[in-house]
Structure 1
């Protein structure tokens, strides 16, 4: 009987540890994420175009699924610098909208003009989700920006 009790206790403990490692994130405003990125001067191309995600054309068909978010882009139209962070109730719809944008707009942009730096930023772009946050980064320093985003939300 003791062995069975110990076995159940062990199984319960392992299950609790396994479940606790899911996508735990802080519930913070996306403005805090944007401020952290800007405070670290991670976006070197200035000035920036800042658009509320609900008003950004990429999310036009899914804006009802967006709780809050932003899109930052370089206003220098030959240099790629895209950073989108969206808090959503449907991660997959937001990711699909960004995939469509990447396929239809960014790949043509990278191939059309802007040089190898833009093509590299597109090919090394990051589209990930953590909890109910989705982020997309297409910049030469995408990994640095992703680290800052994760630092803020985890």
Structure 2
């Protein structure tokens, strides 16, 4: 009887864990994510450059792995404001590319321009993935932007 009770408890526990984990994400166009970032006034009021991710120089080596994506950046490079979202078939490859971009390009920019605010934005930037989405955020309010991105895809 104890073995049967133990087995029942184990099966119940495993099924509860299996049902509670939510690893799936919604399949939404990245344009929907960009609309939320833009309409929520999460970016500062400086002019923003909006580039298709496949056209952005840092993605040259992985553009064939990008299904769709966008790059939002400050047009006047005084205050760092990078928000990238990419839907990809190779999350690891895109993440590695963005880590190199952060280390090579952004760190040099932050060290040379904008002082402590830009250095903090790079140091506190967020590079993460959820499902087949990869996002990189280097802004003063990166956590707020990340929360909005996750609201759309979860």
Task: Give the TM-score normalised by the residue count of structure 2.
Answer: 0.91
- What is residue 28 of structure 1 aligned with on the other side? 28
Tell me, in whole angstroms, the C-alpha distance in 1 between the residues paired with 2:57 and 2:18.
Answer: 37
Task: Quote the residue 1:48 is aligned against.
Answer: 48
CA RMSD of aligned residues (A): 1.6
SS of 2:80 mapped into structure 1 = coil
Alpha-carbon distance between aligned partners in 2 of 1:19 and 1:94, rounded to the nearest angstrom: 29
The structural deviation recorded for 1:22 is 4.1
CA offset digits 1:78-126 (Å, max 9, x no partner): 2210000111111111110000000000110011111111001000100
Identify the residue that residue 17 of structure 2 maps to in structure 1: 18
Deviation at 1:57, TM superposition (A): 1.1
Q: How many residue pairs are counted as aligned between the two chains?
A: 153
Task: Show the 5 A alignment for 1:19-98.
Answer: 19-20=18-19, 21-98=21-98
CA distance in 2, matches of 1:60, 1:141: 28
The answer to which of 17-26 and 105-114 deviates more is 17-26
2:128 aligned residue: 128
Q: Which SS does the other structure have where 1:78 is aligned?
A: coil
Unaligned runs of 5+ in 1: none
Long gaps (5+) in structure 2: none
- 1:115 corresponds to which residue? 115
Equivalents in 1 of 2:26, 2:76: separation in Å?
Answer: 33
| Structure 1 stretches of at least 4 aligned residues deviating more than 6 Å after TM superposition | none
Partners of 1:17 and 1:34 in 2: CA distance: 35
Structure 1 contact 45–81 (Cα < 8 Å) conserved: no
1:3 shift after superposition? 4.4
User: Which moves more between the two structures, 92-101 or 50-59?
Assistant: 50-59
